[in-house]
A and B are shown apart, each in its own frame.
Chain A
Amino acid sequence: MGLRLATMLKDAAITAFVAAALGIFIVGFRTADTGSGLGFEYHFVDLAIAVATVFCGRLGLSLAANGLRWPSMALGAVLILVGVAPMRMPSDFLHWFVALGGVLLIGRGIWPWATDAVASVQTRPSGERAREIGTKWFGWILLAAAVLLPFMPFVDQKTMDLSVLILTYVMLGWGLNIVVGLAGLLDLGYVAFYAVGAYSYALLSTQYGLGFWVVLPVAGMIAALFGVLLGFPVLRLRGDYLAIVTLGFGEIIRLVLLNWVDLTNGPAGIGSIPGPTLFGAVFSETPPAGQRSFSEMTGLAFNANHRLIYLYYIILLLALITNAFTQRMRRLPVGRAWEALREDEIACRALGINPTNTKLTAFAVGAMFAGFAGSFFAAKQRFISPESFVFIESAIILAIVVLGGMGSQIGIVLAAVLLIGLPEWFRELGSYRMLAFGLAMVLIMVFRPRGIVAHRRPSILLHPPNGGGAR
């Protein structure tokens, strides 16, 4: 026993040494403006606390790995207490860091029990069914929470803004899921269709005075048309080649928007785009001539949050439509053909399925939803420029789909909350927030390599669990 403890301590000491060696330049020194030029600030206390945490963390992990689960969890509890204790540490981030180390240790202690419990539930005959029901209820609870969110007492404007943003990405994720998750076509230029939708609304509303609800379907159609236009020549390509071409298409659209100044006003963007109306009522304190405002219509006192809440419900509705449509398509022959195409294109061809047409429908439908989301984005922002439609947007949407679990609707919601929410919530961490973002991605890929929700639900069952045959 004593020997093993010595080994563990030595192991922890080595880890702490490595952490110190790596951290000394990152944490220990910082350049600061001293008034007469750049000088050094020394942060050795920070470094010492961080290294001590690493030491305890490594020791705890070794203890847990050797079956000493309780001492390990006790160590974790101590770390959490130190982390949340109101004592002064040189920076807030250190509190976080120490506490997170403790959470990690406790999590490591609980992990075997949790996996055992999950495994025992899943091996029971009712396990499969329990999971079905669990997913179903989880979805409904999530939906109820989303509907009630604006009326929660703790919700402020910042939360609402963030929720609208998250829901936009949920919708984009669901739209891209049709292309990537179901049909298996790697699309790296999805944001192009988002841009087409946004510019369609911006131009049609500012040039021709058309309202949001009129333009919304039109924008979707235009985006779908662009989907077909792009898809037609390139869908013979597969895998990586398709990804490269779609990447190029995304850039082409952005560059056209940037350089076709006569139409799009170039890099200066399009401003004063009208927001969406509710039965003709606008959401502003002083409505333009000939229109009435929401507060006049309802008799409520003007509140700037009304507009935000209205936007929230619009995007919630649009996202739910996307979801319902996708779920329904999955059960139709075309949806099954999409999935079959993802599994094996050659077999599809041998069964008489036209691969080009099937891919084109997936591409067009996915693009249509991006077009809807785009026109919503333009109506929400009231100003758009090509800068909003850069490649990183496509990458984030794709990351949401992949991390959520290809083809899983609820997984995409969770991934969108994580990927869009985390960087916003951790804004206080300053420049460390992208670190937290990266950590979240790495953790998901380590623990759930096939996405958060990797389970595929069959589109139809011959023997449904609640008895009876197929319809």
Chain B
Amino acid sequence: MSAALIEVEHLTMRFGGLLAVDDVSFSARPREITAIIGPNGAGKTTVFNCITGFYKPTIGRLTVQAGDRAMLLERMMGHEIARKAGVARTFQNIRLFSGMTALENLLVAQHNRLMRASGWSVLGLIGATSFHQAEAAAIETARGWLERIGLLADADRPAGELPYGAQRRLEIARAMCTAPRLLCLDEPAAGLNPRESSELNELLVSIRDRDSVGVLLIEHDMSVVMSISDHLVVLDYGRKIAEGAPAQVRLDPAVIRAYLGAEEDEVPHA
């Protein structure tokens, strides 16, 4: 078992009187797909928002292993989490730059690298060669991703005009263009038809195997969760109720109770 990519320890998030996440600990390893599942209101998105810096946790420690350094996410500013710790995310309701083209979306994701190459715009303004090379490389990266998600022909169309499934894939590609260590996906299969959903599975598996990126996933679609995830974390009412391999979690009585609301004595014992 390799070292954890991200370690979540005793994460607690309180909104006034509401305890949204209560002492949750788990870890996700590199080159693995870790899925967080649970009924509505279980606190999955809150965990995500803590990891990606949109909320500051009330209690808890979030450690990311970046090379040989450990970084504490809860001490970082929102935008530094993506830039320094290499944690990228997508959103439950797609947040593309809808007026900008698909290509532009992918270039904005490479902002920090390009900004350095453009000498904070000074080199870019005078048209230095080094900047043009960096930009060409960025376009190549973007082209590669557009090809992988099957949107090469639509590169110059505004992102908002693309079909829904294409927007989902583009948002994932955009997050990947930041060259992350950990990719956090908030319900990527929501609203997809079965074919699009299986395409998404392939994309996520290839991100895990080809790009060697750890994937953290919130998902309701059990066909996605069961077929591709290596590790499952189950939340209910803000608490972790089970963790483990999919086959094992599926049979966990506490999980079945949380999903089906069955009485304890009705749950068949495995």
Which residue numbers of A lie inside 8 Å of B, CB to CB? 325, 328-329, 332-334, 336-337, 339-340, 343-344, 346-355, 361, 456, 458-463, 470-471
B98 within 8 Å of A by Cβ?
A: yes
| A337 & B108 in contact (Cβ 8 Å cutoff) | yes
Give the total of B residues in contact with A, Cβ under 8 Å: 48
Contacts of A352 in B (CB 8 A): 79-83, 111-112, 178
> Which chain B residues have a beta carbon within 8 Å of chain A's beta carbons?
52-54, 78-83, 88-89, 91, 95-101, 103-104, 107-112, 114-115, 118, 120-121, 124-125, 132, 135-136, 139, 142-143, 146, 152, 155-156, 158, 174-175, 178
Q: Do A347 and B80 touch (CB < 8 A)?
A: no
* Residue of A whose beta carbon sits closest to that of B85: A352
Contact B99 A351 (CB under 8 A): no
The answer to whether B100 and A350 have CB atoms under 8 Å apart is: no
Given the interface pairs A340-B100, A352-B178, the reply to whether A332 lies near B118 with Cβ below 8 Å is yes
**Number of residue pairs spanning A and B whose beta carbons lie under 8 angstroms apart:** 126
Q: How far is the CA of A334 from the CA of B108 in the complex (A)?
A: 9
Closest to B52 in A: A350
Tell me whether B118 and A347 are in contact (CB under 8 A).
no
A-B contact pairs, 13 of them (CB 8 A): A333-B124, A336-B107, A337-B108, A343-B100, A349-B78, A351-B175, A352-B79, A361-B121, A458-B156, A460-B101, A461-B156, A471-B132, A471-B135
A354 to B77, CA, bound (A): 9
Closest partner residue, chain B, to A344 (CB atom)? B95
List the 6 shortest-distance A-B pairs measured between CB atoms, nearest first.
A352-B82, A352-B83, A462-B155, A343-B97, A333-B114, A347-B95
Query: B78 to chain A: which residues have CB within 8 Å?
Result: 349-350
- State whether A344 touches B97 (Cβ < 8 A): yes
User: In the docked arrangement, what's the CA distance between A471 and B138, Å?
Assistant: 11
> Is B174 in contact with A463, judged by CB distance below 8 angstroms?
no
Contacts of B121 in A (CB 8 A): 329, 332-334, 361
Contacts of B80 in A (CB 8 A): 352
Picked from A328, A353, A458, A459, the residue with its CB within 8 Å of the CB of B79 is A353
Once A333-B118, A340-B100 are accepted as A-B contacts, the answer to whether A460 and B107 lie under 8 Å apart by CB is yes
Name the CB-closest residue of B to A406.
Answer: B99
Q: In the complex the two chains form, what is the Cα distance from A349 to B107 in whole Å?
A: 15
**Residue among B98, B114, B136 having the largest count of chain A Cβ atoms under 10 Å:** B114
Q: Which of A340, A346, A352, A458 has the most CB of B within 10 A?
A: A352
A334 and B175 alpha carbons, distance in the complex (Å): 18
B103 contacts across to A, CB distance below 8 A: 458, 460-462
Question: Which A residues lie within 8 Å of B109 (CB)?
Answer: 351
